[in-house]
């Protein structure tokens, strides 16, 4: 989806979905990230009316929350195979240190 198509059609086609809070979650993390990138590009336009910018921002926050949830679930599902002292493989939950 190009930025031009997004900004031209979003407010005509998607306004009802934004206003009634029934926006469906993206089908995948990748789709969510692509949609978020498109929203960011639209928000960077200087001539975007405030009410439309606020609606885009709200949708973007929802996408960030969705993507974060998907990543958290993926982290919980990941398991690391490690060799035990006896030579057997052990399955242990992944543990990641988050910087920032």
Per-residue confidence (pLDDT) for residue 41, from 0 to 100: 96
pTM of the model: 0.58
Query: What's the pLDDT tens digit per position in 5-20?
Result: 444 444 443 333 333 3
Q: How is the chain split into domains, by residue range?
A: 3-93
Instruction: Specify the CATH architecture of the domain 3-93.
Output: Orthogonal Bundle (1.10)
Comparison of pLDDT for 51 and 22, the residue scoring more: 51
> Contact 98/67 with Cβ under 8 angstroms?
no
Which residues touch 11 (CB under 8 Å, ≥6 apart)? 52, 55
Dihedral sign of CA atoms 14, 18, 22, 25 in order: positive
Comparison of pLDDT for 95 and 22, the residue scoring more: 95
């Amino acid at each position: 989806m190009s930025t031009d198509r997004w900004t031209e059609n979003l407010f005509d086609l998607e306004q009802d979905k934004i206003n009634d809070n029934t926006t469906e979650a993206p089908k995948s993390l990748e789709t969510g990230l692509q949609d978020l990138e498109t929203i960011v590009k639209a928000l960077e336009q200087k001539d975007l009316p405030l009410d439309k910018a606020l609606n885009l921002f709200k949708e973007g926050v929802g996408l960030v929350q969705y993507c974060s949830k998907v990543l958290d679930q993926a982290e919980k599902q990941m398991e690391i195979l490690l060799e035990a002292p006896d030579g057997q493989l052990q399955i242990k939950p992944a543990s990641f240190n988050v910087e920032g």
